[in-house]
Amino acid sequence: MNIGRFYRKAVAAGIAADLRGKKEIDRLLAEAAEEYKGAAAEDKEFFDRDRLFNPYADTRLLTGDPETPVRRILAGIDIDGGELHLARSLNREPAGPKIDLVLSHHPLGPAQYRMYDVMRLQAGLLALHGVTVSVAEQLMDKRIEEVERRLLPANATRTMDLARALGLPLICLHTVADNCVTNYLTKLFAAKKPSRLKDLVRLLRAIPEYERSFRLQAPPKIINGKDSHSCGKIFVDMTGGTEGAKEIFDKLVSGGVSTIVGMHMSEEHLANARKAGINVVIAGHIASDVLGLNLLLDDVEKDGRLDYVCVSGFERIRRMKPESKQAGRRRSPPPR
């Protein structure tokens, strides 16, 4: 597998896990193609052509030749200068593992600048949970503008520039992985139907990535509601860039949602959730990111197994199908 195929397979896996469905993704890609076709010649130079096959602006191959073969990846939730220098050092060691690609979950470079664009995904998911789509879109428009302004002064290319200077291919896989964890947990809760919040937390603890977070003393936490409270209808809020509109909680309650399961929540958002009377379970930011990235990589590795050097909060945990010759879960050694 080369880096370009790895990238496209990751995008395809993210699309397959997108709860909005293939029809909506096809519409977005068709709109991008029409925009490119109708662009003036001087504007086409600046058009991001990845949009023609990748609807997630926060997922990009940032540096490196797409034709480069990839066998071993240095992967982390956040990648900065330290991780890049580690990759370079490993490549310079005669007996060390050779790193073909550095993978960051969180967006960098142009993928960070454009992260606000993927937040439109949230309106579609809110509509699936009973929120009137026009209300969801208008509330998200306001929040998207806030996030876009916040990103404007960022020096987002710093890590990307260092990777280029060190000759290291760099990729970031954000919403594609977040789609995977959202899809996985949504289907899990639908199948298992946890009755109480304590039952929901128990389900999370049975998942290796969250089991690990218990051992690291950062377990899932109920931050609104009590463990004896009923779960009711559950909304898994884990994809779409970053936190959505703080005014959305009463709209979710009106749509029948009783419990939100998220990665994180600001104090202002939590205050509004409490006013709305909705249960909130924080599954954990890093643990949820790790789960999403592992699910994504499982899909990518159907073409062949890859090796990993795990850093920055990431641990590679595989879920193998029963018919596989390597059936069973394989995981790297637990942290010390």
* DSSP 8-state assignment for residue 207: S
The pLDDT score that the predictor gives to residue 96 is: 78
Q: How confident is the model at residue 320 (pLDDT cuts 50, 70, 90)?
A: low
pLDDT at 313 over 70: yes
Cβ 122 vs Cβ 240: under 8 Å = yes
In the chain, the percentage of residues whose pLDDT exceeds 90 is 92
Class of domain 3-174+288-312: alpha beta
* Helix (DSSP H) and strand (DSSP E) numbers for the chain: 14, 11
Query: What would the pLDDT profile of 84-138 be if each residue is shown by its tens digit?
Result: 999 999 999 988 789 999 999 999 999 999 999 999 999 999 999 999 999 999 9
The pLDDT score that the predictor gives to residue 189 is: 98
| Helix runs in 116-232, H state only | 120-128, 133-151, 158-166, 175-192, 197-205, 208-215
Sequence-distant (6+) residues with CB within 8 A of 300 are: 6, 9, 10, 13, 306
The pLDDT score that the predictor gives to residue 186 is: 98
Q: Range with the lowest mean pLDDT among 77-86, 198-207, 318-327?
A: 318-327
Q: How confident is the model at residue 301 (pLDDT cuts 50, 70, 90)?
A: very high
In the chain, the N- to C-terminal Cα span, in Å, equals 33
pLDDT at 323 over 50: no
C-alpha dist (Å) from residue 189 to 192, 193, 200, 258:
5, 5, 8, 13
Mean pLDDT of the chain: 94
**Identical fold between 3-174+288-312 and 178-284:** yes
pLDDT at 336 over 70: no
pLDDT at 175 over 60: yes
Report d(CA 311, CA 321) in Å as an integer. 26
Kindly compute the dihedral angle of the four CA atoms of residues 152, 163, 74, 57, in this order, to the nearest 10 degrees: 30
Which carries the bigger pLDDT value, residue 321 or residue 333? 321
pLDDT at 322 over 60: no
- Strand pairing category for 330-331 and 317-318: antiparallel
- Strand pairing category for 257-262 and 279-282: parallel
In the chain, the percentage of residues whose pLDDT exceeds 70 is 95
The CATH code of the domain at 178-284 is: 3.40.1390.30
Query: What would the pLDDT profile of 239-248 be if each residue is shown by its tens digit?
Result: 988 899 999 9
The pLDDT score that the predictor gives to residue 116 is: 94
The pLDDT score that the predictor gives to residue 321 is: 61
pLDDT at 208 over 50: yes
Q: How confident is the model at residue 9 (pLDDT cuts 50, 70, 90)?
A: very high
Cβ–Cβ contacts within 10 Å for residue 24, how many?
14
* DSSP 8-state assignment for residue 173: -
Report d(CA 97, CA 134) in Å as an integer. 52
Q: How confident is the model at residue 145 (pLDDT cuts 50, 70, 90)?
A: very high
Closest CA to 161 of 57, 68, 88, 63: 63
Look up residue 327 and give its two tokens.
């059936």
Instruction: Tell me what the mean pLDDT of segment 300-318 comes to.
Output: 96
Q: Which DSSP string corresponds to 208-258?
A: HHHHHHHHTT---EEEES-TTSB--EEEEE--SSS---TT-HHHHHHTTEE
Report d(CA 330, CA 309) in Å as an integer. 15
Domain boundaries, the chain: 3-174+288-312, 178-284
- Strand pairing category for 101-104 and 170-172: parallel
User: Cα 310 vs. chain centroid, distance in angstroms?
Assistant: 17
Report d(CA 251, CA 19) in Å as an integer. 20
